[in-house]
């Protein structure tokens, strides 16, 4: 038997699979064991399930509905700053949720910009807390994602079809019916489903803008069972519910062809031949201005309000920032250490990495608490547990960024590597890392930024001494220290985007050198 | 001496058999129509393909089970012979050492190999900054450094112009003769074979036959080869 001497050694992949499965399924098992025999669901639990579904459906529906005119305008119009706007549409992915919420409060809150303007004309201030606030925040995060997905669909319409439509003199309505509507029917359900799945596991948004019996998601209910009732059985029962909800929805989403969420090539030029129409032009301009204001307004307010606060930030904020940086770097290292061997395993590894999409952070956190409690003080381990959970949550994205590139490198240089006997560590040094520097940098940046901004498990475990920056910011907001909160938000924003930028640029530089 | 002992290679519904011996120290052309399995034969000898049955034997030693790098073989592929992100120096040094710092003696060997192919002083360039002919020369320099007795050429110069291709074949033939290496060279072009290969193997209808005298084969080709050559 000739040895199939692959340049990429296989055993690290096996080890990574074993580790990921243990880290994901261990907590699930703990939850299952604990949830057994703790009684049926109460009326409050059912209310949480209902609210979770309703807000996710509304958020997904509104996001894609509003995204359609924006994507259409971006397809049809060329203007300075268009590429920048498309890049910005990718930014909410790495934007800390709590920062965006503070921005949304500053614009749409009781004493926000909008209410002030309404006050000038004698109208009462708007209310942001409750269902509509939760949906507003979800649309803020997912409208850009939906726009990018639908834009891809629009750009996939071959230019030849549009040329034919122009030569036949199609009116805008006819072009829509013949070309655009079939595309939307193919793309929109997948996009809506992705957003629905994301919103099912909403925690930080519900924590800050929801709450109360009428606006509690299942994730939030797990947290409340933990923090307020300290009823671990109830938390486990709710975790089981969340597992069924998110897992079921993720399974459905995987079966429906879901379009790729991010990727290059969004700026391909397609010449369109639409007849000049003043009405269409006005529609597009309004869509683009509205979406830019909606996305940039809250962030602009954060920057403006935060800058002056930076010098006066309390020590607790700086300490929390130090914790957050350590957590982010730790989870980035762990995530890449797992993602690289998983990506090398091909489809199999990708499948294992995707598992964590079905598991929400608070389910994992509940399970981890149940496992750790008998043997250690879970609170003392708050930061390491957060880092591990963040690494697992970033895994699908990291593997997805690495896998196609790794496959290409092996196809191009596998034979040459084998002919030269390059394998294992030497292969990674001379071939793997240099050829994959770009996706490695991108993946590292993504995971670092996600981890930096995460407000999830840490809220379950933390005590006053072990806050991360997002949690510390949430505490400042809760104690009405709006100034310090704005300063902390700006710091968090800068750290998240900065970490992403450093890793991403580092990868690019290294690849170019 | 290379011996293919009742070798049988199976890929899907394609089968190729070979049972022959190639004497050491000569240049042998592998001829046949495209799709008849010339590259497949080389891949099996080099260890990229596992034969269904039979053995590959070099100088009395069975090398069938060995990894490609552990065989007494240096190979030039049709493309991707160099890593584009590594300099000429790094590409060549990989043959000598894959970890740690290069010694002075190793640097001297790399420089010497480059001198042999006429590329003195280009160590710091990356392949992208070289012409196609120069890239081929670097690849040949690596074969020299690999210091193996059997060279397999899977049409590595096919993308070069006719004059440049002849120049490269002459370079390979000269260096191989100097070192007493055996060369197995896939070729589409009977002129290449006539130029440097006194012997040839014929690949046709699922079997490899030969070696035979190249000149007499080209003067009076068997039917399968005649159809391919035309006329």
pLDDT by residue, tens only, chain B of 231 residues: 999 999 999 988 899 999 999 999 999 999 988 788 899 999 999 999 889 999 999 999 999 989 888 899 999 998 889 998 899 999 999 889 888 888 999 999 999 999 999 999 899 999 999 999 999 999 999 999 999 999 999 989 988 888 889 999 999 999 999 999 999 999 878 888 888 999 999 998 899 988 999 988 888 888 877 877 775
Instruction: Measure the CA–CA gap between A5 and A418, rounded to whole angstroms.
Output: 7
- Higher pLDDT: A5 or A412? It is A412
- Higher pLDDT: B173 or A174? It is B173
Q: β-strands B150-154, B182-186: how paired?
A: parallel
> Where does the pLDDT of residue A227 fall: very low under 50, low under 70, confident under 90, or very high at 90 and above?
confident
* Nearest Cα residue to A208 out of A332, A327, A85, A99: A99
Kindly state whether A428 is in contact with chain B, defined as any CB-CB distance less than 8 angstroms: no
Kindly state whether B102 is in contact with chain A, defined as any CB-CB distance less than 8 angstroms: no
Can you list the positions of beta strands (E) in A365-446? Answer: none
* Nearest Cα residue to A346 out of A76, A3, A24, A14: A14
- The whole-number pLDDT of residue A79 equals 86
Give Cα A36 distance to the centre of its chain: 32
Residues of B with CB below 8 A from A426's CB?
A: 98-99
**Between chains, do B70 and A434 touch, taking CB under 8 Å as contact?**
no
Q: Which among B51, B67, B75 has CB closest to A5?
A: B67
The set of residues, in sequence order, having a beta carbon less than 8 Å from that of B101 and lying 6+ positions away, is none
Q: Does A343 have pLDDT greater than 70?
A: yes
Mean pLDDT of chain A: 87
Choose from B44, B73, B83 for mutation: most chain A CBs within 10 A. Answer: B83
Chain A neighbours among B 14-53 (CB < 8 Å)? 46-48, 50-51
Max mean pLDDT range (A275-279, A419-423, B56-60)? B56-60
Least confident of A139-148, A255-264, A501-510: A255-264
Model confidence, pTM: 0.82
Give Cα A144 distance to the centre of its chain: 12
Record the tokens describing residue A188, joined without a space: 């929109």
Residues of B with CB below 8 A from A429's CB?
A: 98-99
Calculate how close chain B gets to A423, using CA atoms only, in Å.
Answer: 10
**Between chains, do B68 and A431 touch, taking CB under 8 Å as contact?**
no
Choose from A9, A411, A416 for mutation: most chain B CBs within 10 A. Answer: A416
- The whole-number pLDDT of residue A274 equals 60
Instruction: Measure the CA–CA gap between B34 and A192, rounded to whole angstroms.
Output: 50
Give the ipTM of the model, two decimals please: 0.82
**Cβ neighbourhood burial of B9 (10 Å; 0-12, 13-18, 19+):** buried
Calculate how close chain A gets to B50, using CA atoms only, in Å.
Answer: 6
| Every domain of chain B and the residues it spans | 2-72+148-229, 84-131+138-147
Instruction: Measure the CA–CA gap between A36 and A257, rounded to whole angstroms.
Output: 35
Structure confidence by residue, pLDDT tens digits, A26-68:
998 988 888 866 567 888 889 999 999 999 999 999 999 999 9
CA nearest A431 in B: which residue? Answer: B83
Q: How far is residue A395 from each of residues A148, A263, A337, B173, measured CA to CA in Å?
A: 22, 17, 10, 52
DSSP 8-state code for residue A430: I
- The whole-number pLDDT of residue A54 equals 96
Q: Does A351 have pLDDT greater than 70?
A: yes
Structure confidence by residue, pLDDT tens digits, A110-164:
888 888 888 898 888 888 889 989 999 999 999 999 998 899 888 888 777 777 7
Record the tokens describing residue A460, joined without a space: 């379950």
Kindly state whether A318 is in contact with chain B, defined as any CB-CB distance less than 8 angstroms: no
Choose from A2, A7, A418, A422 for mutation: most chain B CBs within 10 A. Answer: A2
- Segment A348-373 shows an average pLDDT of 86
CA nearest A422 in B: which residue? Answer: B98
- Segment A307-323 shows an average pLDDT of 92
- The whole-number pLDDT of residue B231 equals 54
Give CATH for domain A11-34+43-512: 1.10.3720.10
Calculate how close chain B gets to A158, using CA atoms only, in Å.
Answer: 33
DSSP 8-state code for residue B120: T
- The whole-number pLDDT of residue A6 equals 58
- The whole-number pLDDT of residue A211 equals 76
* Nearest Cα residue to A324 out of A386, A368, A380: A386
CA nearest B145 in A: which residue? Answer: A420
Residue B213 CA neighbour count, 13 Å, CB half? 4
Structure confidence by residue, pLDDT tens digits, B12-51:
889 999 999 999 999 999 998 878 889 999 999 999 988 9
Question: Topology of domain B2-72+148-229, per CATH?
Answer: Rossmann fold (3.40.50)
**Cβ neighbourhood burial of A255 (10 Å; 0-12, 13-18, 19+):** exposed
**Between chains, do A434 and B99 touch, taking CB under 8 Å as contact?**
no
**Between chains, do A415 and B83 touch, taking CB under 8 Å as contact?**
no
């Amino acid at each position: 038997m000739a040895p199939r001497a692959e340049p990429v050694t296989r055993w690290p992949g096996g080890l990574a699979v074993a580790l990921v499965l243990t880290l994901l399924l261990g907590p699930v098992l703990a939850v299952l064991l604990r949830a057994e025999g703790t009684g049926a669901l109460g009326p409050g639990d059912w209310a949480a399930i209902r609210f979770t579904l309703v807000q996710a459906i509304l958020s997904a529906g509104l996001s894609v509905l509003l995204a359609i005119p924006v994507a259409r305008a971006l397809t049809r119009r060329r203007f300075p700053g268009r590429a920048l706007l498309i890049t910005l549409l990718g930014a909410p992915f790495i934007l800390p949720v709590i920062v965006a919420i503070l921005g949304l409060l500053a614009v749409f809150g009781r004493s926000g910009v909008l209410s002030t303007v309404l006050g000038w004309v004698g109208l009462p201030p708007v209310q942001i807390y409750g269902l509509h606030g939760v949906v507003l925040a979800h649309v803020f995060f997912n409208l850009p994602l939906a726009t990018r997905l639908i834009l891809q669909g629009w750009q996939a319409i071959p230019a030849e079809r549009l040329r034919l439509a122009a030569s036949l003199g199609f009116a805008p309505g006819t072009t829509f019916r013949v070309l655009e509507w079939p595309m939307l029917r193919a793309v929109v359900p997948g996009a809506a489903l992705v957003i629905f799945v994301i919103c099912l596991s909403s925690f930080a948004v519900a924590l800050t803008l929801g709450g109360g019996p009428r606006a509690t998601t299942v994730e939030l209910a797990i947290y409340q069972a933990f923090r307020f009732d300290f009823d671990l059985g109830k938390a486990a029962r709710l975790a089981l519910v969340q597992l069924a909800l998110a897992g079921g929805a993720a399974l459905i989403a995987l079966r429906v062809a879901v379009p790729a969420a991010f990727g290059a090539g969004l700026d391909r030029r397609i010449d369109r031949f639409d007849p000049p129409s003043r009405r269409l032009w006005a529609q597009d301009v309004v869509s683009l201005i509205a979406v830019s204001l909606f996305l940039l307004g809250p962030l602009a307010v954060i920057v403006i309000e935060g800058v002056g606060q930076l010098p006066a930030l309390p020590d607790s904020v700086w300490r929390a920032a130090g914790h957050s940086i350590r957590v982010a770097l730790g989870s980035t290292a762990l995530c890449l250490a797992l993602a690289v061997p998983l990506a090398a395993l091909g489809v199999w590894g990708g499948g294992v990495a995707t598992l964590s999409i079905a598991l929400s952070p608070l389910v994992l956190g509940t399970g981890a608490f149940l496992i750790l409690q008998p043997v250690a003080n879970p609170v003392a381990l708050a930061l390491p547990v957060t880092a591990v959970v963040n690494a697992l949550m970033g895994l699908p994205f990291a593997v997805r960024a690495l896998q196609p590139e790794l496959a290409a490198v092996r196809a191009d240089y596998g034979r040459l590597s084998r002919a030269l006997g390059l394998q294992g560590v030497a292969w990674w040094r001379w071939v793997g890392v240099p050829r994959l520097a770009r996706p490695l940098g991108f993946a590292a940046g993504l995971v670092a930024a996600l981890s930096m901004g995460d407000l999830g498990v840490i809220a379950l475990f933390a005590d006053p001494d072990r806050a991360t920056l997002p949690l510390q910011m949430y505490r400042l907001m809760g104690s009405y220290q709006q100034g310090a909160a704005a300063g902390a938000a700006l710091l968090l924003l800068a750290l998240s985007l900065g970490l992403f930028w450093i890793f991403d640029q580092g990868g690019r530089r290294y690849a170019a050198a | 001496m290379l011996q293919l002992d009742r070798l049988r290679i199976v890929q899907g519904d394609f089968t190729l058999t070979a049972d022959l011996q190639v004497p050491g120290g000569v240049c042998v052309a592998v001829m046949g129509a495209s799709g008849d399995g010339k590259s497949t034969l080389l891949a099996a000898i080099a260890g990229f393909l596992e034969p269904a049955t039979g053995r590959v034997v070099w100088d009395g030693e069975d090398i069938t089970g060995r990894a490609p790098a552990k065989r007494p073989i240096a190979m030039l592929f049709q493309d991707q012979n160099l890593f584009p992100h590594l300099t000429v120096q790094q590409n060549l040094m990989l043959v000598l050492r894959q970890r740690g710092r290069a010694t002075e003696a190793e640097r001297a060997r790399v420089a010497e190999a480059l001198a042999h192919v006429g590329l003195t002083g280009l160590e710091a360039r990356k392949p992208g900054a070289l012409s196609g002919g120069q890239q081929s020369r670097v690849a040949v320099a690596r074969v020299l450094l690999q210091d193996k007795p059997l060279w397999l050429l899977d049409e590595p110069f096919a993308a070069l112009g006719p004059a440049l291709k002849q120049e490269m074949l002459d370079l390979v033939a000269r260096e191989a003769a100097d070192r007493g290496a055996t060369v197995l060279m896939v070729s589409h072009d009977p002129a290449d074979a006539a130029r440097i290969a006194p012997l040839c193997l014929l690949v046709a209808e699922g079997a490899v036959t030969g070696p035979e005298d190249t000149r007499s084969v080209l003067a009076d080709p068997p039917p399968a080869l005649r159809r391919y050559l035309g006329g």
